[in-house]
Structure 1
Amino acid sequence: MPTLPRTSASVLAATLLLAACGTEGGAPPGGENGEAPVQAEVLCPTDHSAYGDTQPSEPSPRPSGRPSALPLPSAEGATENGVRITALHSWGPESGCAGVDYSADFELTNQLTEAATYTLTFGFLSASGGAVDHGERTVEAVGPGRTVKGTVTMNETLGNPPAVTGVEVTKVRSVPAAEASSASGTCPKSGVHVYADEGDAAMGLRVVGLHLVNCGTLPYRLDGYPELELQDEAHKPVDGVRILEGTDRISTGLGGDGSPEAVVLGPGEAAVMSLAWRNTTQAGEPVNAPYVRVWARPAATPVMVVPELDLGTTGRLGVGPWRKDETNRGAGGTRP
């Protein structure tokens, strides 16, 4: 049964490494065979490319440096939900790039009928087939039918690195590009950032916070509860789940109780509400709803978040009212 996603310390370290080493901006979609370059992580700025010459105007989706190629378990590379592993590399001390043990190249094909933003999770595998570590990549705004290329990394470990002999795609999540959530960056036309946090899970109780930041220039009013639509892995609506106003019937002390009050957010101010559920499984078929489409207020632009609701057979989701988040003073973001 799926659980709430967690980012390990090692994956976080890899993310920080990429941010520290620098990033090349991706070019607009184009190219032959429907392929489009994506944002390229530069692990080690260097003039040497182990992957052949790359035109400066066409940023490579692969890291620079001197890695050693490793054989893939399958020469063809199996495709999982439109994602195919194309290469696996080891980055030893001789590579000239500190901070990375392994990297894998992949190709992603958008099999949907609209542009989508993808979050991909990969497992780096040992010879026994067990996962040594995980890596995650987000690929934004892939056009329908297009194929893009990218790289995911496993950061350097203390001591002797584990022997990695393979890599697999463990999870693929996609949301319509027009409805992708964001916590910062360019302010959407709606004037608000909407996103879900990583949540908390203990003894079968799940709680995820849904956040809204006014990144616009005008006040933004919220009153009551957001409107939600639960979707399964195929983006089909999930029926048979009772959406409860308040979280007290799920558990007490979660901060989602009480009567809703009007919340007016000035520019840079934020609001938060809670989703709460239990993943108890008894008689019946467990219900999983990875996606939640959110309307923050009536007639608002919908935003899709991915809280990975594993509702078990409980059939209930508690929804707290919007309240001002005094701990989050957003910077507002950049207007498009």
Structure 2
Amino acid sequence: MSASAVRPAALFLTAAALLAGCGTVTAGGGGPAAPSASAGPCGVPVERPLEGWVRDGVRILAVNDACAEFEVTNAGSETADFSVLFGWTGVGQRLHTSPTGTVPAVPPGATVRGRVEQGTPNPARANASQPPIIPNVKISQVRSVPTAEAPSKAGPCPASGVRLYADQGDSAMGLRVMGLHLVNCGTSPVTVNGYPQVQALDEKHRPVDALQVLKGGAAIATGTGADTPPQRITLRTGEGAQAMVVWRNTNDNLAMDPVNAPYLRVRATPDAAPVMVTPELDLGTTGRLGVGAWVQESVTS
């Protein structure tokens, strides 16, 4: 085991007590708002954050072999849902995973606490005579989506009467293919005709101008399902539609910078409310995004 894999236990024992208030959600005013999914502290807090423990408004507060406590500060101007990807290398259990912690509906200017669970506590942690089991954890990535534009795959039907979300996609040899899914969860028919409207956004939710949006995916690759001719589709309650998004991560022009856009703002129809998904667009220097037309899709409940 390398020395870098184990954090000195003394760093985690600088506080006199376990993390106070662990397991609560704290708003900007400092008062507890609601309990977290599970109780109990995640280790002992430190006076100074360790390397990789602070990034983009997120700070790790405490960690042990089974969980991590963190807090998210929303520096934006609207309520947002946050997703925090952690790089996690276990000690003793030899874990090498990337758990994700989510904190929904963080008001502007507020700091809210979150928790991510990882594995089962090591029995040695229950023995007070043994040093704490400390994994090597860091914040790998932070993403935020306005709560009003959050994708919906389950739960209560949105006020719009439709769900819109993106799947995990597929990638091979630099080709990326992702599906956008639209489901009518309301009581009235929903009609789509043609292509969804999309806008690529950078990490600060600003439009990415160095991008060409194409209708269909043939100019990028064939056989992706993005080239079905557009048609008028009426979705009754419980019915759905799908549109494919296609791009390549190819760097074929050394004079250009690669185009990266974490977010994609999607409108199912020109007058529909926007939904922001997070496809992590890595378009290389091609700068082209192919968007297929809506096609009927079977929906499984």
| Alignment TM class, shorter chain as reference | 0.7 to 0.9
Deviations 1:74-124 (A, max 9, x none): 73354211111111123xxxxxxxxxxx21111111111110011111112
Structure 1 residues not aligned, in runs of 5+: 1-24, 43-62, 91-101, 331-336
**Equivalences for 1:1-336 in 2 at 5 Å?**
32-33=29-30, 37=33, 40-42=36-38, 63-64=39-40, 69=43, 75-76=48-49, 78-90=53-65, 102-125=66-89, 132-156=96-120, 164-282=134-252, 283=254, 284-326=256-298, 328-330=299-301
Distance 1:314 1:68 in 2: 45
Q: Which amino acid aligns with 1:132?
A: H
**Cα shift readout 1:189-243 (whole Å, capped 9, x = no counterpart):** 1110100000001110000100011000010000000111110111110012111
Q: SS at 2:148's partner residue?
A: helix
CA contact (8 A) 2:78 2:107 kept: yes
Contact 1:179–1:303 (8 Å) recurs in 2 = yes
List 4+ stretches of structure 1 deviating above 4 A. Answer: none
> 1:246 touches 1:256 (CA, 8 Å); kept in 2?
yes
Q: What SS does the aligned partner of 1:108 have?
A: strand
**2: CA distance between counterparts of 1:26 and 1:68?**
13
Counterparts of 2:173 and 2:24, CA distance in 1: 43
Q: Quote the residue 1:53 is aligned against.
A: none
Would the alpha carbon gap of residues 146 and 68 (structure 1) be closer, same or farther in structure 2, given more than 3 Å must change?
A: closer
- Describe the shift of the 1:68–1:172 C-alpha distance in structure 2 as closer, same or farther (beyond 3 A): closer
CA distance 1:140–1:71, change in 2 (3 Å):
closer
After superposition, the Cα gap between the structure-2 partners of 1:69 and 1:152, relative to the gap in structure 1 and judged at 3 Å, is same
Maintained 8 Å contact 1:243/1:319: yes
- Aligned-pair distance for 1:26? 8.4
Partner of 2:11: none
What is the SS of the residue equivalent to 2:43? strand
Compared CA separation, residues 68 and 197, structure 1 to 2 (3 A): closer
Compute the TM-score of the two structures, normalised by the length of structure 2: 0.80
Q: Would the alpha carbon gap of residues 167 and 224 (structure 1) be closer, same or farther in structure 2, given more than 3 Å must change?
A: same
What CA distance in whole angstroms lies between the structure 2 residues aligned with 1:164 and 1:322?
49
Provide closer, same or farther for how the CA distance between residues 268 and 36 of structure 1 changes in structure 2, counting only shifts above 3 A. Answer: farther
CA distance in 2, matches of 1:106, 1:278: 35
Distance 2:247 2:134 in 1: 37
Answer yes or no: is the 8 Å Cα contact 1:36–1:147 preserved in 2: no
Q: Give distance in 1, aligned partners of 2:236 and 2:144.
A: 32
Show structure 2 runs of 5+ residues with no match.
1-22, 125-132
SS at match of 1:178: helix
Q: Deviations over 1:107-147 (max 9, x none)?
A: 111111110011111112357xx982211122111000111
Cα separation, partners in 2 of 1:79 and 1:225, compared to 1, 3 Å: same
In 2, Cα distance between equivalents of 1:39 and 1:243: 44
CA distances 1:36-56 after superposition (whole Å, capped 9, x unpaired): 5456223xxxxxxxxxxxxxx
- Tell me if structure 2 keeps the 8 A contact 1:256–1:321: yes
Question: In structure 2, what is the Cα distance between the partners aligned to 1:104 and 1:204?
Answer: 34
